[in-house]
Structure 1
Amino acid sequence: MTTPTESAQKASLSTLAELLPFLKPYGRQFLLAGIALIVAACATLAVPYAFKQMIDLGFGGNGIKSAAHIDLYFLALFGVATVLAIATAARFYMVSWLGERVTADIRSAVYAHVVTQSPQFFETTQSGEVLSRLTTDTTLIQSVVGTSISMALRNVLLFGGGMVMLFITSVKLSAIILLALLVVVLPIVFFGRRVRKLSRDSQDRIADASAMASEILNAMPTVQAFTHEKIESNRFTSMIESAFGTAMRRIRARSLLTMIAIVLVFGAIVFVLWLGAHAVIKGTMTGGELGQFILYAAIVAGSIGALSEVLGEAQRAAGATERLLELLAEESPIQSPAVPKALPQQAQNGATLELKNLVFHYPSRPLSPALSQLSLNIRAGETVAVVGPSGAGKTTLFQMLLRLYDPQQGQILLDGVDITELDLHVLRNAIGIVPQDTVIFSANAMENIRYGRAGATDAEVIEAARLAAAHEFIERLPEGYQSFLGERGVRLSGGQRQRIAIARALLKNPPLLLLDEATSALDAESERLVQSALEAAMVGRTTLVIAHRLATVKRVDRIVVMEHGQIVEIGTHAELVAKNGLYASLAALQFGVHG
C-alpha cells in the first residue's frame, strides 16, 4: 500500500515532466546549451589529467626537457581553461534565455487559461492566489529551467566522467569511494522528500498572504472607514510570520541535508586519500596519479554536493509546478461548441429572445433555485423591464443570457438559435451590458470607452460618449480623453463611472442591450440626460432593463415581475397596478398608493 508521502514523491517526480510541452518548441536552444554543457564538462575533466602530466613529466624530469614539459602543460592548462570559460559562458547564456522564455510562456498560458474560466471558478479561487502562482511559482520554475536543469546535467556529467577517471586512476581506491558514496545517497533522498513537502507548504502560505493582501488593498476605503488599518496590518503580519515559520522549517531541512551530504562525502574522500597517500609512500602510485585522483575525487564530491542543492530547488519547483498545473487543469463548464452555428442576419429592429423553462442553481448554493421554470418571449425591438425584490433572480437572468452560467434545465434562444450552439464570442458580441457595478480599467477615458469595441475610431468613441452624456465631464478632465482615470476609476464619481459604462455599451452597438440598474448611481440631472440617451439608444434594438426604481420603467413595452426565481406577473405599469399584486405593492412603496 502506497503511503501519502510516497504518492506525493511519485507525483513530484512526474510533475516536472509536465513542463515538457513548454520546453519542446525550443529544441534547438536546448541542443546548443547541451553542446556547451558537454564541452565545459569535458574541459573540467581534462584539468586533473593535465595536472598529472605536469607533475609526473614536468617535475619528474631534469633541465631543459623538464622546463619544456612545464611550458607545454601550463599552456595546455591555460587552453583548457579558455575553452572552459567560453563553453560555460555559452551555457549560461542559453539556459538563462531558456529560463526566461519558458517562464514567460507559462505565465502567458496560465493567464490566458484563467481569463476563460466561468464565474464559478472565481467563486472558489481568490484572485490574489492566482497572482501569486503567476509570479512566485513561475519564478521558481524559471530557476529550475534557467539554472537547475543545466546544473543537474553538468554535475551528472562531472560525476559520471569523474567516476570513470577515478577507476582508470585506481580501481581499488575508487571501489572504496563508490561504496562510501552509496551510503551518502540514503539521507539525501530521505531529507529531500521532507524538503519538497515543506516547499509546497511554504508556497501555499505565501499565496494565502498574497490573496488576503489583494483583497484588502482593493477595499481600502472600507478598511479606513471602519478604522481597521491596524487590525488588517496585524492580520497580514500574522500570515507573513506563518509563511516565515514554514520557510524556516524548509531552510533548516535543506541546511541539514547539505551538511550531512558534505560531511559524509568528504569524510569518505579523506579516508580514501589517506589510503592513497600510503600507496605513494609504498611506490605503488605516482605523485601525479595521486594528485589526479584527488582532483577527480573533488570534482565527484562537488558534483554530489551541487546535485543535493539542485534536488532541493527541483523539489521546490515541483511544488510550484503542481500549483500551476492545477490552474491549467481547470476546465470551464462554459465552452464554445466544436461546430458553432451562425446567428441569422440581424433585423433592423434588434434581436428576438425566447426563454424556455429555465431552471438554475448556483454551484455554491445547490439547494436553493435562483431560477425556477422561467419562460418568456421577447419580440425584436421590444423594451422589457424586469423588476422584483432583491434575490428574485433578475441579475441571474442576465448572467444566463451572457452564458456566464448554463441553466441545469431549459433553453435560451437568440434569434431562434440556442445560445449553447453559438460561439461564445459571437453570442457576447451580440449583447451589450451596462452593469450595476461599473468596472473602470487603469487606462485613459478614451481606452475605457473603446473597451466596448476594440477597433473603434476616436471619433466613434467621442460620439458614444456624447450619447451617454459623458462627453462634457470627460472634456473637463485635465487631459480630456487622454486623462488617466485611476485604478478602478477612483478619480470619477459613481455617476461618471456609470456614464462611461453606458458609452462603452453604446459603442458596441449590439442588437440586444441589457441595463442592470443603469441609472442607479446618477443624480437627478445626470439621470435625465442618460435616460434620454438610453431611450435614443434603445431604438432599433431589443432592451432588457433591471430596475428597482420603478419611475424608470413606466414607459417600457412590458414589465416582468419576478419573485423567488419565477415570473409572477407580466404587463404594463397601469395593468400591473390594476392587478393589485406584487408590482402594485412595490409601486405603492415607491409612489404611494396606486403609483
Structure 2
Amino acid sequence: MTSSPTQDKSSGKGSLSALFGLAPFLKPYKKQFMLAAVALLFAAGSTLAIPAAFKKMIDLGFGQGAGAAGIEHVNAAFLALFALAALLAVATAARFYTVSWLGERVTADIRAAVYRHVVMQSPEFFETTQTGEVLSRLTTDTTLIQAVVGTSVSVALRNVLLFVGGLVMLFVTSAKLTAIIIGLLVLVVVPIVLFGRRVRKLSRDSQDRIADASAMAGEILNAMPTVQAFTHERIEAERFGSSVEGAFSTAMRRIGARAWLTMLAILLVFGAIVFVLWLGAHAVIEGTMTGGELGQFILYATIVSGSLGALSEVMGEAQRAAGATERLLELLSVRSNIQNPAQAVALPPRAANGAALRLQDVTFFYPSRPETAALSHLTLDIRAGETIAVVGPSGAGKTTLFQLFLRFYDPQAGAIQLDGVDIRHLDLHTLRDAIGIVPQDTVIFSANAMENIRYGRADATDEEVIRAARMAAAHEFIERLPEGYRSFLGERGVRLSGGQRQRIAIARALLKNPPLLLLDEATSALDAESERLVQGALETAMQGRTTVIIAHRLATVQRADRIIVMEDGQIVETGTHASLVALGGIYANLAALQFQPVHHTPQEAVK
C-alpha cells in the first residue's frame, strides 16, 4: 500500500546527513562546482594573506629606525593590500554568481522532479495526502534548499577554509597563544552542539506547522461557495488564525533557540579571544613578541572567530534545510501501487464498433476503507459497441467501476479485460488513451476555452476542437464569450455555469475519440434545452464505440442496450428499462422516486 508522507511527520530527526540526499540533483553540475571551488580558494587565500601584509607593514614600515626604507615598505605593503583586495573582489563575485546559479538551478530541478513524481501517483496517494502539504513542500521546502545550495554551502566552505587557514597561521605566529585559545574554544563546541540539536528539532516542527496552515488554507479557498453558503467565514478565519498562531509560536521557539545559540557562540568565542589577546599584549611589552606579530595574531584570531560565528549561523540554516530535504525525499520515496508492467502488451487493432470490456469476479476495497468492500465478486461482460447504463443508490459502487476501468486502483481479486487483454498488462497511457470520461464533477483549467477542450487531445487542431464543441452543443455559448474560444474561463471555470462546464467536459471527451466512453452523470447539470442538445450529441458520439453510463435520468437510461442495477457493490438486477420496471425490484423503486418530478406520477414514469 502506498504510504503518505504526511502520515508520520515526526519520523526522521532532520539530521545534516539528510542533505546527502541532494547528491543526485547536484551531480550533473560538477563543472559549476569546480568553478565555484576555484573562486572560493582564491577568495579565502587572499583573505588569509591580508594579515601577513599588515605584519610586514607594521614591523618594516613602523619599526624603530625604519626611515626612508620604511616609507618604501609601507608603499609596497599598501600596493600588495590593494592587489589582494582586487583579487578578493573578483573571486567573491565569481563565487557568488556561480553558487547562486547552482542554487536556482538545483531548486528548479528539485521542484520539477517532485511535481513530476506527484502527478504520477495514483488516487490512493491523494486519499491520505493534502494538496496544501504538497504545495508547501514544493515552495517553502525548496526555498530553504535553494538558500543552502545557493548561499549557505558556499559560506560554510569559505568559513571552513578561513577557520583552518587562520588556525594554521595562528600557530605560525604564536604556538603558545594558539594552544591556549584552542583549549578555550573546545569549551564552546559543547553548548553549540546541544543547542544545535534543539534548533534542528524546532526547524522540523516549524515546517510542519507551516504546511498544516497551507493545507488548511488550500482546502478552504477551494470550497469558498460552501463556506459562504453556511456563513462559516468567521469560523474558518479563526481556524486559520489559530493554525498560523501555532506556526508562529513554533517559529519563535526556533528563533529563540537560534538567538541563544548565536549569543552563546559569540560571547564564548570573543571572551576567549579577548583573554588571549590580553596575554599577547603582555608578551609585546615583555619583548617576546613584535607589534606586527601581535597585529597579525589579532587579525587571524578575528578571522577564526568570525568564521566560527558564521559557521554556527550557517549550521542553523543547514539544519532547517536538512529538515526540508528530508520532507522532500519522503515525498520522492512514495511509490504508487499502480505501475506500468515491465513488458506491456499491445491492444489489438481498434474494432469499428468500439471496445469489449469484461470484469471477472472483481472484488475491491478502497485503501482508506479496508473493512468495507466497494465491489464484491462482480462479473460483467460488455460487448463492443454496447451501451450500458449503471444505476443504483448512492454508495452502490458505480463510480468505483469507472476508477477501476481507468486503473486508478487495482482490484484485490479478479481481473478486468479490455478487448481480451488484462488491463494490468497494458501501458497506463495505452489504457487511458482508449478511454474517454465525462466526470460528474467537471474540471475546468485556468486557461481559455480552446485549450480546455484541447486537453482531450493535445495535438488536435483548432478545427477539430471546434467540431467537438459543436457536437457537445458548446459552440454557441463559447462564441458568445467576449473573446470566443480564446476567452479565459477563470480558475476552475468560475465564469461558466454548471451546464456550460459540463458541455466543455463532453467536448473534451469527444475530441479524444476513444473506443470506450464513460459518462458519469454527464447531463446532470444541464437544463432541459441543453440536455436535449447534449443527448443528441451523445447519441452521435456513442456510434462506433462502447459506452458505459452512470445516470438516473430516464431519457439516458431508456436509450441503453442494457441496464445494470447495483447495490452494495454487487449487480442485483440486469435488463432493459421495461423488463426491470416489470420486475418490480430496486430499479422500479428508483424509477418511481427519481423520475417522479419529471413525469408527475410513478405510473407515468414507468410507462
TM-score using structure 1 length: 0.98
Residue 269 of structure 2 is aligned to residue 265 of structure 1: yes
2:575 to 552, 571, 586: 571
Q: Name the counterpart of 2:258.
A: 254
Matched residue type, 1:458: D
Secondary structure of the structure 1 residue equivalent to 2:339: coil
Residue 531 of structure 2 is aligned to residue 527 of structure 1: yes
Residue 122 of structure 2 is aligned to residue 118 of structure 1: yes
Residue 422 of structure 1 and its aligned partner are, at CA, apart by 0.5
Q: Name the counterpart of 2:461.
A: 457
Secondary structure of the structure 2 residue equivalent to 1:484: coil
Residue 42 of structure 2 is aligned to residue 39 of structure 1: yes
Residue 560 of structure 2 is aligned to residue 556 of structure 1: yes
Residue 101 of structure 2 is aligned to residue 105 of structure 1: no
Deviation string 1:31-78 (CA, Å, 9 cap, x unpaired) is: 000000011000000000000011011112432211111110100000
Q: Name the counterpart of 2:174.
A: 170
Residue 394 of structure 2 is aligned to residue 409 of structure 1: no
Residue 475 of structure 2 is aligned to residue 471 of structure 1: yes
Matched residue type, 2:273: I
Q: Name the counterpart of 1:48.
A: 51
- The CA distance in 1 between the partners of 2:368 and 2:227, in whole Å, is 27
Matched residue type, 2:478: I
Q: Name the counterpart of 2:246.
A: 242
Residue 164 of structure 1 and its aligned partner are, at CA, apart by 0.3
Residue 360 of structure 2 is aligned to residue 356 of structure 1: yes
- The CA distance in 2 between the partners of 1:7 and 1:455, in whole Å, is 45
Matched residue type, 1:514: L
- The CA distance in 1 between the partners of 2:17 and 2:364, in whole Å, is 40
Written as runs of structure 1 = structure 2, the 5 A alignment for 1:54-453 is 54-60=57-63, 61-453=65-457
1:26 to 23, 26, 29: 29
- The CA distance in 1 between the partners of 2:232 and 2:395, in whole Å, is 30
Matched residue type, 2:592: A
Deviation string 1:534-591 (CA, Å, 9 cap, x unpaired) is: 0000000000000122332112111111111001111111121222222122223225
Matched residue type, 2:67: G
- The CA distance in 2 between the partners of 1:263 and 1:587, in whole Å, is 82
Residue 519 of structure 2 is aligned to residue 515 of structure 1: yes
- The CA distance in 2 between the partners of 1:53 and 1:101, in whole Å, is 44
Residue 226 of structure 1 and its aligned partner are, at CA, apart by 1.6
Q: Is the 8 A contact 2:60 2:66 kept in 1?
A: no
Q: Is the 8 A contact 2:122 2:336 kept in 1?
A: yes
Residue 532 of structure 1 and its aligned partner are, at CA, apart by 0.5
Q: Is the 8 A contact 2:516 2:546 kept in 1?
A: yes
Q: Which runs of 5+ in 1 are unaligned?
A: 1-5
- The CA distance in 2 between the partners of 1:238 and 1:370, in whole Å, is 37
Q: Is the 8 A contact 2:353 2:543 kept in 1?
A: yes
Matched residue type, 1:104: A
Residue 525 of structure 1 and its aligned partner are, at CA, apart by 0.4
Matched residue type, 1:102: V
- The CA distance in 2 between the partners of 1:296 and 1:14, in whole Å, is 31
Secondary structure of the structure 1 residue equivalent to 2:373: coil
- The CA distance in 2 between the partners of 1:470 and 1:7, in whole Å, is 51
Over aligned residues, Cα RMSD in angstroms? Answer: 1.1
Secondary structure of the structure 2 residue equivalent to 1:370: strand
Matched residue type, 2:56: Q
Residue 8 of structure 1 and its aligned partner are, at CA, apart by 5.1
Residue 10 of structure 2 is aligned to residue 17 of structure 1: no
**Which segments of structure 1 move beyond 6 Å, counting only runs of 4 or more?**
none
Residue 506 of structure 2 is aligned to residue 502 of structure 1: yes
Q: Is the 8 A contact 2:123 2:408 kept in 1?
A: yes
Secondary structure of the structure 2 residue equivalent to 1:66: helix
- The CA distance in 1 between the partners of 2:546 and 2:11, in whole Å, is 57
Matched residue type, 1:107: R
Matched residue type, 1:48: P
- The CA distance in 2 between the partners of 1:247 and 1:381, in whole Å, is 61
Q: Is the 8 A contact 2:442 2:502 kept in 1?
A: yes
Matched residue type, 2:88: L
Pair 1:258–1:221, CA change in 2 (3 A): same
- The CA distance in 2 between the partners of 1:521 and 1:374, in whole Å, is 30
- The CA distance in 1 between the partners of 2:21 and 2:60, in whole Å, is 52
1:582 to 586, 590, 594: 586
Matched residue type, 2:587: Y
Secondary structure of the structure 1 residue equivalent to 2:15: helix
Pair 1:13–1:49, CA change in 2 (3 A): same
Matched residue type, 2:49: A
- The CA distance in 2 between the partners of 1:159 and 1:8, in whole Å, is 31
Matched residue type, 1:251: I
Secondary structure of the structure 1 residue equivalent to 2:369: coil
Q: Is the 8 A contact 2:446 2:491 kept in 1?
A: yes
Q: Which runs of 5+ in 2 are unaligned?
A: 1-9, 597-601
Matched residue type, 2:19: L
Matched residue type, 2:43: A
Matched residue type, 2:466: I
Matched residue type, 2:524: S
Secondary structure of the structure 2 residue equivalent to 1:128: helix
Deviation string 1:385-409 (CA, Å, 9 cap, x unpaired) is: 1111111100000000000011000
- The CA distance in 1 between the partners of 2:237 and 2:578, in whole Å, is 55
Q: 541-550 or 397-406: which moved more?
A: 541-550
Q: Is the 8 A contact 2:16 2:318 kept in 1?
A: no
Q: Is the 8 A contact 2:12 2:326 kept in 1?
A: no
Pair 1:7–1:416, CA change in 2 (3 A): closer
Pair 1:140–1:229, CA change in 2 (3 A): same
Matched residue type, 2:332: L
Deviation string 1:263-301 (CA, Å, 9 cap, x unpaired) is: 110111111111111111111110000000000000000
Aligned residues: 589
Residue 7 of structure 1 and its aligned partner are, at CA, apart by 9.6
Q: Is the 8 A contact 2:391 2:550 kept in 1?
A: yes
